[in-house]
Chain A
Amino acid sequence: MSPDVLDGADHVVRYCRPRTIDSQGRITAAAFTFRVRRKREEFLSVNWLEHFDATTRAKRMHLLREVLRKKLTLSKRGRLGVLQIGRIRDLALRRGTESVRLVPHRSKEDPSHAGIHVAEEQEMAAAAILANLVEEAFLAQTDAATAAK
């Protein structure tokens, strides 16, 4: 079971759809924007990577893909972006606001599920920063757990 507060040294992973990946294969700010067409999404879905018990990050990503495949159609052109939790948390601390929060949203089907909550008026600035904070990107769909870059 995931704790109520995730360790700052741990990481979360965001599935980034192909429309959010640029022509060089990089994750852009678009991967961290909210859909608002019907109703604004409550949070950006992410997964707590260290929930998966494995010796390497690549192996953890492999286990995460198995979980995500049950919920999403992972595209070959999509990416899984890795962000450190502490750096996300620092955004709010440095600004002295609650504008960016990381909250566990675990469920029976997906105990690693968490959400990045962003105040609406901060969305574009937060999206650009979150894209800057992606420390590693993996292919969303691969048999071999190979890093994309």
Chain B
Amino acid sequence: MSSTQAREAGYVQLRDRWAALVVDLPGRRFAPADSLPQDRAVRASESELGRLLESFAELPQTVVERIETLSAMLRGDAEDADVVSLGSVRGLCRFLVSHAVAVPEVVADGDGQLIAEWLDDRAGRLSMRFRPDGRAEFALAGGEEAGSPSRVRLCGAEEPGKAARSVRAVTGRFPFL
């Protein structure tokens, strides 16, 4: 539905979202002609997410389920992005199927970008945010080897594989198996 069609169907734009005016104007009963544009966008994105996840057959099922859960969580929070970033999902999945790393915890930022996180008593906390442009912002902080939870051992923005290898050069093995 185009912007013009949405307006004609009785929707109004609130900031960047479309909403229905729930009032009956004289001579006109409210009757939405179609679903809201953002709902259609979310549905389209959900099916795209499903197809994308299916294309990574070797991905651990726990990660697939986690990404689907995060997608639903983002959708359910008005403050956050409506959908998970497909570029970010692609980046994380590619990284996980092509590198022998431990299965990370997967969480999301408010813009729908995925963050993989590994925790190790000695090496510390490694957080990698997968950006839609294919790079990862990462930071390795804390752990026994750092001596303080607030000491950053390594941080930057790199191609994810390169970032993980940089971390391995500092920790010895982590996050690789």
Q: Which residues of A contact B (CB under 8 A)?
A: 17-24, 26, 28-30, 33-38, 87, 90-91, 94, 123-125, 127-129, 131-133
Is B125 a contact of A20 with CB atoms below 8 Å? no
From known contacts A19-B74, A29-B125, infer whether A125 and B139 are also in contact, taking CB-CB under 8 Å: yes
Q: Total interface residues on B, using CB and 8 Å?
A: 34
Total contacts A-B at CB 8 Å: 100
B137: A residues at CB distance < 8 A: 123-124
Is A127 a contact of B139 with CB atoms below 8 Å? yes
From known contacts A28-B127, A35-B111, A124-B129, infer whether A22 and B117 are also in contact, taking CB-CB under 8 Å: yes
From known contacts A23-B105, A30-B115, infer whether A131 and B125 are also in contact, taking CB-CB under 8 Å: yes
B40 at the interface (CB under 8 A from A): no
Q: How far is the CA of A131 from the CA of B79 in the complex (A)?
A: 21
> Which among B16, B77, B109 has the greatest number of chain A C-beta atoms within 10 A?
B109
From known contacts A29-B139, A90-B150, A132-B141, infer whether A22 and B111 are also in contact, taking CB-CB under 8 Å: no
B105: A residues at CB distance < 8 A: 22-24, 26, 28
Is A30 a contact of B155 with CB atoms below 8 Å? no
